[in-house]
Amino acid sequence: MRRKKIIIGNWKMNPLTGIEAEKVFSGIAKKLPSLKRTEVVICPPAIFLERLKKIRTTKVKLGAQNAFYGEKGAFTGEVSAEMLYVFDIKYVILGHSERRVMGESNKEINKKVKAALFAGLAPILCVGERERDENHEYLNIVKRDIEECLAGVNKNSLSKMVIAYEPVWALSSTAGRHDFIPSEFLEIKIFIKKVLSGFFGAKTDLPRIIYGGSARPDNASEFINEGEADGLLPGRDSLDPDKFVEIVKICEALGN
C-alpha cells in the first residue's frame, strides 16, 4: 500500500504572537477538506506548540522545528526529543539549511536524528547543496549529508522518516536564486534513493522524499506530478491559510 503524501508547513520564526499563531492554525484547520491521501503537519516555533495543541483537529499534526539530542540535563535553551514526544508531537525538522548556516554539523544532526527516533518521533531530515556546480560536486554533498546524518541509524527506522531535499541556491530567500524545476527534483530523488539503498541495502523500506524548496500553489502540482515528490515543505506560504490549503488540495487531488 502506498503511503500518503505529506505537506509540512515550516513557520520558521513566525508569527510574532500566540494570537496570530492561533489565527493562522485555526484558519488552516477550518479550510482543510476531508483528506484521504495527504498528511498535513504544521511546525510552528516551539513557544506556540502548547497553545496550538489546544485547538483540537484531526486534520493537522503538530511538528517541531528542532530537537536536542540530550534527554535532560544542563542544556540551557534546548528542548529534547523526549520532551516533544511526551507532549504528543509527531514530527521534528532536523538539519534545516538555516540551522546549518548557523554552524550545525552533520555529526550533531546525526545525534539528533538518533535521539528523535529513539524518543518515537519521525525526523524530517533536510539535505541539500548551497551551490550547483558544473562538475556535479553537489551530488557528493547530498550523498555526504545523507550518509553522515544517518550513520548508525537502524534501517528499520528509515521508513518512519521524511527526507526533504533543499536546493539552497534556489530558495526564495537566496539572493540571485535560480528556478528549480520538477525534472531536476526527480533526478535528485532517484539519486537519493540510490544513495539510501547503497547505504542501507537494496531491500530497505525507504522514507518519503519531499521537495523542501520554495513550494507554492503555482508550482505544487508540477513537483507532485512531474517531479514525483512524496510531498512538499512550504515555508512562507504555510503562514497563509488560503495558499497553504490550496497546496494541500493540489497534493490530495494528485495523490495515489
Residue 153: pLDDT above 80?
Answer: yes
pLDDT computed for residue 178 by the predictor? 56
Residue 96 a catalytic site member: yes
Q: CB under 8 Å to 197, separation ≥6 — which residues?
A: 204, 206
C-alpha cell recorded at residue 150: 544517518
Residue 166 a catalytic site member: yes
pLDDT computed for residue 37 by the predictor? 95
The active-site residue, picked from 82, 96, 129, 252, is: 96
Delineate the domains of the chain, giving CATH numbers in brackets.
Answer: 5-254 (3.20.20.70)
The active-site residue, picked from 39, 82, 98, 166, is: 166
| Residue 53 and residue 88 in contact, taking contact as beta carbons nearer than 8 Å | yes
Predicted TM-score (pTM) of this structure: 0.95
First to last CA, the chain: 10
Per-residue pLDDT reduced to its tens digit, 116-140: 999 999 999 999 988 776 777 889 9
Per-residue pLDDT reduced to its tens digit, 26-37: 999 999 999 999
Residue 177: pLDDT above 50?
Answer: no
Q: What is the mean pLDDT of residues 182-186?
A: 93
